[in-house]
Amino acid sequence: MTADATPRPGGDPPIPSGSIYDLGYRGYDGPRLGRRHAVGALFTHTLLSCYGIGRGGRAKIIPFVLAGIAVLPAVIAVGLVALARQAGQAGEFITDASPIRYETYFEIVGQIVALFCAAQAPELLGRDQRYSVLSLYFSRALERTDYAIAKLGGFVVALLALVLAPQIILVLGLTLSSPDLAEGLGENLPKVPPILAQAVTLSAVFGSLSLAIAAFTPRRAYATAGIIASFIIPPVVAEIAREVTSRDISRWFVLASPPDVIGATNAFFFDIRPDSSVIAAARHPGELYLVVAALAVAACTGILIRRYQRISA
């Protein structure tokens, strides 16, 4: 350390001469993982932070509570079935009458997913906007579009986990608790493709819709309100439309209601009759709902990407 430029105690003006101290700052010459890794890192980070992993304890409360509630009916159902099997013939009544089955489960868990979206989507997007962190993201190898897609991917996968966890428990539980393993597999395995299809559809639709709404405001409370409104209002509107307007007009309202569309795709994948009277009254072919879902996902993704291309950071 050269003595010249050291400021002396007592406040003497330093004698003019310059030198730079080597305090340990080093440039980095090593390999730089490129854009793909940046996107992957953001994707993983998004997925984990949906469940509060990597953030404080408080951030874990809501997601874990919701996940617990989502999984609980499945655990109960498996328990019931296992008990019922012990009871033999009488038990079959119970298993058949159990309301908790693969096809009905999505309706139960759908509301949990909606709450999860309303709670977590604003967190994912709002915090970055509110604290002006976006400029840090965009000055990396990450493109604006990449940011949007990585967030969307992470969030949809997080929702997938939420939706599939109870279903996996159901499949495993029901298969393993059947007296003959081959029979159990034969009963339950064919259900797996529809489960997966519906899970993907539900996650993609709810996820992209929530993010598209949350992207437009840094205030988390407004985003939460908007997301909840988008899940609550359209079904009510569809219901009222069915009552007050003619069939030809009201049947189209159902397509604008995310919970109803998902309910319809559920019915389509599992090849059952839909529960909701609104869907039944509309009498659309099941494929139409699939198309609508796909279009909705595409539209929301487009809105999300465009928002982040235009946002000032």
Partner 1 sequence: MTIFITLVDVTLRGLVGRRRTVLLVLLAVLPIGLALLARLGGETPDAAAALDALVVRIVLPLIALVFGTAALGAEIEDGTAVYLLTKPIARLHIVVAKVVVAALLTAALVAPSALVTGLLMGGGDEGLAATLAVTPAVIIGSLLYAAAFVAISVITTRALVIGLVYVVIWEGILAGILVGTRIFSIREAVLGFAGVLAPDAWESGLEAAQAVALALVVVIGGIALGARRLAVHEVRGGD
Partner 2 sequence: MSGQGAAPAIELDHVSRWYGNVVAVNDISFSLGAGVTGLLGPNGAGKSTLLHMLAGLLRPSAGRLTVGGEPAWRNPSLYRRIGLVPEREAVHAFLTGFEFARMNARLQRLPDPDAAAARAIRTVDLESAAHRPIGTYSKGMRQRAKIAGALVHEPTILLLDEPFNGMDPRQRLHMIALLRGMAAEGRTILFSSHILEEVERLADEVLVIHAGRLAASGDFRQIRRLMTDRPHTFRIRSSDDRALGAALVAQPAVFGVELTDGRLIARVGDYGAFTAGLATTAKRAAVSLYEVAPTDDSLESVFAYLVRR
CA distance 114 to 311: 26
Of 82 and 237, which CB lies nearer to partner 1 in the complex structure? 237
**Binding residues for partner 2, total number by CB under 8 A:** 5
Under 8 Å between Cβ of 125 and 303: no
Q: How far is the CB of 309 from partner 2 (least distance, A)?
A: 24
DSSP string, 24-70: S-----S----HHHHHHHHHHHHHHHHTTTTS-SHHHHHHHHHHHHH
Under 8 Å between Cβ of 134 and 313: yes
Question: Which residues ranging from 73 to 132 are in contact with partner 2 (CB under 8 A)?
Answer: none
Of 225 and 288, which CB lies nearer to partner 1 in the complex structure? 225
Token look-up 């058949």 returns 96
120 sits near partner 1 (criterion: CB under 8 A):
no
Q: How far is the CB of 254 from partner 1 (least distance, A)?
A: 14
Among 132, 245, 277, 309, binds partner 1 (CB under 8 A): 245
CA distance 172 to 78: 9
- x/- track of binding to partner 1 for residues 192-231 (CB under 8 A): ------------------------x----xx-xxx-xx--
249 sits near partner 1 (criterion: CB under 8 A):
yes
Residues 301, 304, 308, 312: what is their CA dihedral angle, to the nearest 10 degrees?
160
87 contacts which partner out of partner 2, partner 1, none, CB within 5 to 8 A by kind?
Answer: none
The conformational region for residue 271 under phi > 0 = left, psi -120 to 50 = alpha, else beta, is: left
Under 8 Å between Cβ of 170 and 74: yes
- x/- track of binding to partner 2 for residues 6-35 (CB under 8 A): ----xxxx-x--------------------
Side-chain-side CA neighbours of residue 312 (13 Å): 0
Q: How far apart are the first and last CA of the chain?
A: 41
12 contacts which partner out of partner 2, partner 1, none, CB within 5 to 8 A by kind?
Answer: partner 2
27 contacts which partner out of partner 1, partner 2, none, CB within 5 to 8 A by kind?
Answer: none
Q: How far is the CB of 2 from partner 2 (least distance, A)?
A: 15
Of 12 and 96, which CB lies nearer to partner 2 in the complex structure? 12
Binding residues for partner 2, rule: CB under 8 A, are 10-13, 15
Binding residues for partner 1, rule: CB under 8 A, are 216, 221-222, 224-226, 228-229, 232-233, 236-237, 239-241, 243-246, 248-250
